[in-house]
Amino acid sequence: MSESETPPGQRAGAVVAFPAAAAPSSVTFDRRELNELFNLYGRMVAAGEWRDYAIDFLRDKAQFSVFRRTAEVPLYRIVKDPALARRQGAYSVVTATGLILKRGAELGRVLKVLDKRLSVVN
């Protein structure tokens, strides 16, 4: 086929359609969310409560799991599930037994259930 010929099945001057950009293959935490998660994680490590973490980016949700010991099941899982964003909020804190401690649309508010700030005792 020479350069002046058109491929079979296409008209001369026709617009060629390219496939659309693929949807992201997994849900992730963005930089702001990771900053909030690691700030809380750092405080809890300094307090001696947490020792390890794991981040999982799955097709339908992202999880930040925290452990007291490396070989144990996670104490808490902070889950981002965009499918629940309009109903109950995309973020939730889940215990090792599956109990949902808090759920909401803002990560900072959801993480407050885990953040034990020092207070003055009279």
Single pTM value for the model: 0.73
**Contact (CB, 8 A) for 52 and 70:** yes
Average pLDDT over residues 101-120: 85
3 state DSSP class of 108: helix
Strand order in the sheet with 100-104: 52-57, 62-67, 76-80, 91-95, 100-104
pLDDT per position as a tens digit, 16-66: 666 655 556 788 899 999 999 999 999 999 988 899 999 999 899 999 999
Which amino acid does the sequence have at 11? R
Average pLDDT over residues 98-122: 85
Burial class of 40 by CB neighbour count within 10 A (0 to 12, 13 to 18, 19+): buried
Residue 18: predicted pLDDT: 63
Average pLDDT over residues 111-119: 78
